[in-house]
Each structure stands twice: as C-alpha cells, then as structure tokens.
Amino acid sequence: MRDRIRIALFSGVLWSAAWWGAAGALVQAHGNPLMEARLQQSGFRVQGPVTAIAGDRVSYEFLDFGGKKHTAEALVGDPNRVRALAKSGIVTVVYLPKEPEVSKLEGERYSTLESWILFTLAGVGFLSWPVVAWRFWKRRGQRPSPTAASSTTG
C-alpha cells in the first residue's frame, strides 16, 4: 500500500516536472515574456551601432548608464527593417538599468513567446499532477497481484 502511494505520487511529480521543463525550454528558445513588461516599464533607451547582420539577426553594442559597453543580438522579423538598420548602422536599444544584459531593439519584442502560453503550460503542469497520480493509483489498484493470479490458474 505504501509503495503504491509513493509510486503514484512520484509519477505525478514527474509529470509536473515534465510540464515545467517544457515551459523552461520554451523560455530558453523564445525569451522570457515577463521581461517584455519590465523593459516597457523601466527600460532605458540609448543608441548604439549595429555590429553585424546575419539574416534576420542583428548584433549591436550600447553603453549603459555607467558607461560600460554591452553587446547583444536581436531577432528582427521584418526584412525591410533589417535593411533599414543595415543602412543606418544605428539602433535604439531599450535595456534594464540593473540588468543591462536584458535588452531589445526599440520596436521589436524581447520574447516571441506570449505570456499566456507560458502560464498555461506551467498551470497545466502544476494542476494536473494530482490527476496523473490518482489515475496511476487507480490503474495500479486494478491489476491482480501475482499470488492471486497463480491461485486462480492452478
């Protein structure tokens, strides 16, 4: 009985961890959508040079408020905007003053992931683990024990 409880709870926790892992992988691949609001609310705007363009990726540099140089890269969705940035060679950068490694080009998004998708994934992972544990519990409870199976056959 105690092993059944442990196995059911462990399967539920594994299920939840898989969903949280999926949410984390999306944040890694597409950027944290919560940073977008922080950049809008308290971001500083500075100008800096474009250092490289490779396809739809634009690399740029900027000096933070303290005068320290930072380099970053942004994904620009509009090919016309990429050409305009290549022509001008100057970008307007929005960055967080306490975390200058978090920056974006003005007019572009920091994250290509919508926040509701992230919260939905995390919520499903968190709220569904008791259901998975319960279903595992029920499934394990319906299987006949090896001793009962051998006593009916022979």
- Residue by residue, DSSP assigns 118-132 as HHHHHHHHHHHHHHH
CATH of region 33-105: 2.40.50
Cα separation, 53 vs 81, whole angstroms? 12
Render pLDDT for 22-79 as a digit per residue (tens, 0 to 9). Answer: 777 877 777 777 788 899 899 999 999 999 999 989 999 999 999 999 999 998 988 9
* Coil vs helix vs strand at 100: strand
Taking 3-state DSSP, the helix, strand and coil percentages for the chain, each rounded to the nearest 5, stand at 55, 25, 20
Give the residue extent of every domain in the chain: 2-29+114-140, 33-105
pLDDT of residue 86: 92
Residues above pLDDT 90, as percent of the chain: 38
Angle at 104 between CA 43 and CA 35, to 5 degrees: 60
Q: How far apart are the first and last CA of the chain?
A: 26
Render pLDDT for 89-111 as a digit per residue (tens, 0 to 9). Answer: 999 999 999 999 999 999 888 77
Which run of H or E residues covers position 63?
strand 57-63
